Amino acid sequence: MSSNHPVTIQRLDGESSSRLLDAVAVEEPLEIRLSLDLLMPGDHKPVSITMRTPGHDDELAVGFLFSEGILASPAQIRNVSHWGRPPPGKAERNVAVVELAPDVDIDLARLERHFYTTSSCGVCGKTSIDALRQERPFANSDASSFHITTETLLALPDALREHQASFGVTGGLHATGLFNAQGEVVLVREDVGRHNAMDKVIGRLFLDDKLPAADYGMIVSGRTSFELMQKAAMAGVSTLIAIGAPSSLAIEMAEEFGMTLVGFMRDGRCNVYANGQRIS
């Protein structure tokens, strides 16, 4: 499944005009469904539709379900597969089914919110303000040992950019990177939706049973919203770095959860918005 799509464009440059081949980021819907024992065989319960860039859809599905408090452990999952009728002319299957292991007990009330998430905002479909804030499973995990030097911190944007292959082609994808205290970016996922990119990273960690990620920080290619702070907090990450600006609620959440929040990482400088004690 390709993350970019070729298009023919007309380029205007001053008074000249030319036609050439370009590439744009792919945006397609993905429906996330659950398969539970209590349903009839072959039946699936729709949970969410998200507009995403195809690729790593299994990570996206389980990362979303974990960050929404529906899944708690990889042992709850028997299988993740693509299912459904592909759209006309497409080979991709735009339905991801998460099949739960027998006798798994989940909070079905959480599934009644009928999520619909766009590539620009991941919480638009939630039906109440209370539904925005999730209970953090790793709230008591020890993340205080994570520290990073200023020199290492300021090198992170370039380190992330080296892994953004699809962005290099299209210029239209967000990225989330997982990095250690030495500044090594060890995992990167790209997507047209910034929340999807983070869900893919979290989903990979979840499937590998590597949560909480207390020994790592996250860097995002754009701005920092409430939702990204919450997803990082759900994963047990103590430090979130952004190339762009944070929102007021993102700063409030960082202070509430004791997380380090850094923004405007550019030109060898940055702003520390909360809990700068992890930066030396």
Q: Give the Cα separation of 168 and 102 in Å (integer).
A: 43
Record the tokens describing residue 199, joined without a space: 């869900």
Counting every residue written for the chain, the total comes to 280
Backbone torsions φ then ψ of 55, nearest 5 degrees: 125, 135
Give the closest residue to 137 by CA, choosing from 193, 191, 76. Answer: 76
To the nearest 10 degrees (0 to 180), the angle between helices 57-67 and 226-234 is 90
Laid out side by side, the sheet with 115-117 consists of 77-82, 95-100, 28-35, 45-52, 115-117
Query: Residue for token digits 């004690």?
Result: 277
Q: Give the Cα separation of 265 and 190 in Å (integer).
A: 19
Residues belonging to the active site: 121
Q: Give the Cα separation of 254 and 152 in Å (integer).
A: 21
